[in-house]
A and B are shown apart, each in its own frame.
Chain A
Amino acid sequence: MKPRTADKIATGVIVTFSSIIVAVLLGLLGFILFRGLSHISWSFLTSVPQTIRAGGGIGPQLFNSLFLLVLTLIITIPLGLGAGIYMAEYAKPGKITSSIRLVVEVLSSFPSIVVGLFGLLLIVNTFGFGFSLFSGALVLTIFNLPLMVRVTEQAFRGVPKEQKEAGLALGLSKWKIIVSILLPVAIPNLVTGTVLAAGRVFGEAAALLFTAGMSTPRLDFTNWNPLSPTSPINPFRPAETLAVHIWKINSEGLAPDAMAIAAGASAVLVILVLIFNLTARWLGRVLYQAFTASKVIK
Chain B
Amino acid sequence: MKSNNGSPVLIKKHHLEDWIGRIYTTFCVSLLVIVIVSMMYFVASKGLTTFIKDGVNVGDFLFGTKWDPNGDNPVFGALPFIAGSFATSLLAALIASPLSICAALFMNEIVPSWGKRLLQPVIELLAGIPSVVYGFVGLSVIVPLFRDVFPGQGIGIAAGSLVLSVMILPTITSIASDALSSLPKGLKESSYALGATRWQTIYSVILPTVMPSLLTGVVLGMARAFGEALAVQMVIGNAPHIPHSLFESASTLTSVITLNMGNTVMGSVQNNALWSMALALMVMTFIFVIVVRLLERRHRL
Q: A28-B137, A79-B28, A85-B25 are in contact. Are A114 and B43 (CB under 8 A)?
A: yes
User: Which of A158-166, A216-224, A230-238, A262-270 sits within the interface?
Assistant: A262-270
Residue of B29, B46, B107 with most partner-chain A CB within 10 A: B29
Helix, strand, loop or mixed for chain A's interface?
helix
Residues of B within 8 A of A32 (CB): 133, 137
Contact in complex: B132, A205 (CB < 8 Å): yes
Count how many chain B residues have C-beta atoms less than 8 Å from C-beta atoms of the other chain: 87
B1 interface contact, C-beta 8 A? no
Contact in complex: A117, B129 (CB < 8 Å): no
CA A269 – CA B118 in complex, angstroms? 24
Helix, strand, loop or mixed for chain B's interface?
helix
B81 interface contact, C-beta 8 A? no
Contact in complex: B25, A90 (CB < 8 Å): yes
Residues of B within 8 A of A227 (CB): none
CA A243 – CA B130 in complex, angstroms? 8
B230 interface contact, C-beta 8 A? yes
CA A100 – CA B31 in complex, angstroms? 11
Count how many chain A residues have C-beta atoms less than 8 Å from C-beta atoms of the other chain: 91
19 contacts across the A-B interface (CB closer than 8 A): A17-B106, A31-B137, A79-B28, A82-B27, A86-B28, A106-B36, A106-B286, A110-B282, A114-B227, A114-B278, A114-B282, A174-B22, A199-B128, A209-B258, A209-B262, A247-B230, A251-B233, A266-B137, A274-B128
Q: Which residues of A contact B (CB under 8 A)?
A: 3-4, 6-7, 9-11, 13-15, 17-18, 20-22, 24-25, 28-29, 31-32, 35, 78-83, 85-87, 89-91, 100, 102-107, 109-115, 117-118, 120-122, 125, 142, 145, 149, 172-176, 178-179, 196, 199-200, 202-206, 209-210, 214, 243-244, 246-247, 250-251, 259, 262-263, 266, 269-270, 273-274, 276-277
Closest 7 CB pairs of A and B: A203-B130, A111-B227, A82-B28, A17-B102, A175-B21, A86-B25, A10-B199
